[in-house]
Amino acid sequence: MDKMDLTGVFAPLPTPFDENDRVDPRRLRSALQQWLATPLNGFVVLGTNGEIGLLSDDECDAVVETARAIVPAGRPLIAGAGRESTQATIRVVRRAASLGADAVLVRTPSFFKSEMTHDNLARYYGAVADASPVPILLYNFTTATGVNLAPATAAVLAEHPNVIGIKESGSDIAQIADLVALTPPGFRVLGGSATIFLSALCAGAAGGILALAALLPDACARLFDLARAGRLEDARTLQRRLVPVARLISGRYGVPGLKAALALRGFDLGAPRPPLAPVTAAALAELRDALAAFEVVTA
């Protein structure tokens, strides 16, 4: 890959487990073959939806290796690689790179939330970017971490040649607009919230890394294309139809909901890892109804 183009729609992939709660490379290979047949621009393993917080370092290696063996060059493969200490993150970033990840996605540390000041975050990401053999994407997910990587901090980091973009999972559209305004043109701001994806694009985002894209890749790619083409009315209609599904898998039922919904669409990813539990029958019915409602209208 000459220069990675992080424009478009990327899917964060859930990590499949087998019946004994072990990472299951066979299931991952099989699901990846299905995702490769979609118009998705690239893939993220070991993100929040990949249950990264519940995996050991060895398991992380296995996931990157397995994915890399399947995902061809030209389709960016991004590996989540944030840890809490600077030294641990550097170790993990190097491993991911050596196993073939095209870029790494580095979430803000959050164990000591109140210490995650501008200075500490700038030093942390600077050290990681210096040490990483591959480009890094910043990753801000305040709802999950309680930490906010402010646009002013991202703007400083965007000057590092090895920092190529940010995944901003929040739905504060002013913050997304600030990120676009304060960073250079080549720096990619990727939205992380499917419910406001159109708004993020209107605000200048270059694309998105969306759990919803793992589930409804064609629709998410279409929404991106409509927005790019300036067909706002059609884009709004599609965005609106995607919202109910997006809310169920990203908000209400989380990773267990995403895995259950993917199962309804023919993906076999096993159960989430405890303490996560599979969704209830009622939640499953709700997911089925939302997917059916979406498909009926779009068919």
Residues that bind a second copy (CB under 8 A): 21, 53-56, 84-88, 109, 111-116, 119-121, 123-124, 127, 144, 146, 171-174, 177-178, 180-181, 195-196, 198-199, 202-204, 230, 232, 236, 239-240, 243, 251, 254-256, 273-277
User: Smaller CB distance to a second copy: residue 33 or 87?
Assistant: 87
Is there a catalytic annotation at residue 167? yes
CA 28 to CA 25: how far, in whole Å? 5
- Give ∠ CA 65-54-37 in degrees, rounded to 5: 45
User: Smaller CB distance to a second copy: residue 125 or 267?
Assistant: 125
DSSP 265: T
Residue of 3, 113, 167, 259 marked active site: 167
Does an H or E element contain 139, and which?
A: strand 136-140
Using the Cα atoms of residue 153, residue 158, residue 160 and residue 166 in order, give the sign of their dihedral: positive
User: Smaller CB distance to a second copy: residue 34 or 86?
Assistant: 86
Nearest approach in angstroms of CB 120 to a second copy is 5
In three-state form (DSSP H/G/I as H, E/B as E, the rest C), the secondary structure along 1-42 is CCCCCCCEEEEECCCCECCCCCECHHHHHHHHHHHHCCCCCE
Angle at which helix 118-131 crosses helix 86-98, to 10 degrees, equals 30
Nearest approach in angstroms of CB 116 to a second copy is 7
User: Smaller CB distance to a second copy: residue 40 or 200?
Assistant: 200
Please identify every residue annotated as catalytic: 167
